[in-house]
Structure 1
Amino acid sequence: MPPLSRLYLLAYNSLQAIGWAVSLYRVLSNFVSTNSINGAYASAGGLIGLLQIVAFLEVIHGAVGMVPSGVLLPLMQWGGKTHFLLAVVLKVGEVQQLPSVFITFFAWSITEVIRYSHHAFNCIGSCPSWITYLRYTAFIVLYPIGMGPGELWLMYQALPIVKKKNLYADVFASLPFSYYAFLKVLILLYPFLWLKLYLHLFKQRRSKLSKDHEKKRK
């Protein structure tokens, strides 16, 4: 990898790691200070939204070959999270104080601090083995937590409000279905789309941890 590209990726991943660490701090500090999980969106929603929008760069990174991730999986992950944040949570204010937001933000923040830290250390060619282990192990618990009681349950809870408000009626006016219908179908498909990513991560885990183990033996 060219030095300039490596430097760029180091800066990008480091800033994302810091941003998600700040998000985690805000979510937890709000919980501690208020003794409530209802303020997660108010405390960190704006920052997390910004970090997620910027993360579209990762799709571009894969598209231009800067990283070997490809395009499809990063796009699926980015699209799912961005839709959840900007199309549902941001626009349906009634769900912003639900426990699902806290659960999602908590799981996302820990996951992303680990993931971006791992990428940043790899950019300098020296990643501690414990970070590699966390990168390919923590997701086993954190991903289902973020998806099930987090994203999926919140979108389900948002359905009656979406229907009542006829959300995005103008956008869907020329289509034969409403956003409400789209969201219902998405909720049905979500576990299957998520499972594709989840199984891919297990495949990565076997590959990466076995390589790390081989390095230690040498």
Structure 2
Amino acid sequence: MYRPGRSEATRVAEPGVRRKETVTGGAFVPETPEDAAGMSAVGDTSDKMTHESSTASAAATNTAGKRGASAGMSAVKYYLFVYNMSMALGWTYILGSLGHCYLNGSGPENAFAYVGFALAVWQTGAIFEVLHAAFGFVRSPVISTFIQVLSRVYVYWLVARPFPQMHQSPVFSSMVFAWCLAEIPRYLTYALSLTGTAPQPLVWVRYSGFMLLYPLGAGSEIVLTYLSLPLQREALPKPWMYVVCILALVCYVPGLPYMYYYMLRQRKKQIGKPKKPKAL
């Protein structure tokens, strides 16, 4: 029963039982164990609701972050797919142009007129592969990617293109032919692997063809570079530039076996050894 005018208010909780609840400075102060237990339960419920709210907020933030990362990864994969498919189509065009040159009876002296511009575009476009490896878009080693791309860009722009004696040589045609047959299945394999649809025969060709094509292509690069040295010596304005050309040729000595054995390791990883049939 509540009695107004007193500093202490009393309520009847149960018949015959009185509890005193003191109001001090606007704050409710329990004076019985039952009141304290009730307030503790309310506090625990409030803390639980606050914790659940914080957990839900953190979960929502985490989900949004995962969605953003997933969208970013999808964008990278889409970009890599477009890049690799365009490179595969470009090298297919170069191979077709080279074949068209020989089918027309033009011969190696006119091969550069058929493939020179396209080769400049797509071979230079391989520089993006170094950036892909450096930025972590792909898992390719930066060093091996850099060596392969740099050697080809160097041979095209500083050896073959400036000197007609070089790009009219049959060695130039053999080099481009090897490049095309190596790059077409390589880029196709990369592109289709992003969608999980790379057929096993294509994977086998990509990781087996290099055993013949790499010596042919790299060997042609070495021959062209060596044959161009007298021309480089006359054309280059500074003596140290000629020294750089000689050093580039020397770099093939360790670079060729390094890249070849690297590809052998990649072949073992991607194809592996055939399983031996179990004995009956």
TM value normalised by structure 1: 0.88
Q: How far off is 1:145 after superposition? A: 0.4
Matched, 1:160 2:226: no
Matched, 1:197 2:197: no
Matched, 1:34 2:96: no
Give the letter aligned to residue 223 of structure 2.
W
SS at match of 2:136: coil
SS at match of 2:109: coil
Give the letter aligned to residue 62 of structure 1.
A
Structure 1 unaligned residues grouped into runs of 5+: none
Q: How far off is 1:182 after superposition? A: 2.0
Residue deviations 1:174-211, cap 9 Å, x none?
xxx52222222322331321221111000000011029
SS at match of 1:10: helix
Identity among equivalent positions (%) equals: 26
Matches within 5 A, 1:168-183: 169=237, 173=238, 177-183=239-245
- Residue 58 (structure 1) aligns with: 129
1:38–1:102 Cα contact (<8 Å) kept: no
Question: What is the number of equivalent residue pairs in this alignment?
Answer: 204
Residue deviations 1:93-134, cap 9 Å, x none?
221100111000000011100100100110111110000000
Matches of 2:211 and 2:110 in 1, distance apart? Answer: 27
Q: Which structure carries more helix by proportion?
A: 1
Structure 1, 84-93 or 133-142: larger mean CA deviation: 84-93
Aligned with residue 144 of structure 2, among 70, 73, 87:
73
Residue deviations 1:6-63, cap 9 Å, x none?
1111100000000000000001110110252222222112111111211111111111
- Residue 9 (structure 1) aligns with: 80
Matches of 1:103 and 1:38 in 2, distance apart? Answer: 12
How large is the RMSD of aligned CA atoms in angstroms? 1.6
Give the letter aligned to residue 119 of structure 1.
Y
Highest Rg: 1 or 2? Answer: 2
Structure 2 unaligned residues grouped into runs of 5+: 1-69, 276-280
SS at match of 2:158: helix
Matches of 1:40 and 1:193 in 2, distance apart? Answer: 28
Aligned with residue 108 of structure 1, among 179, 182, 186:
179
Matches within 5 A, 1:141-160: 141-148=212-219, 150-160=220-230
Matches of 1:21 and 1:36 in 2, distance apart? Answer: 19
Matched, 1:24 2:90: no
Give the letter aligned to residue 140 of structure 1.
M
Q: How far off is 1:163 after superposition? A: 1.5
Give the letter aligned to residue 20 of structure 1.
W
Aligned with residue 98 of structure 1, among 166, 169, 176:
169
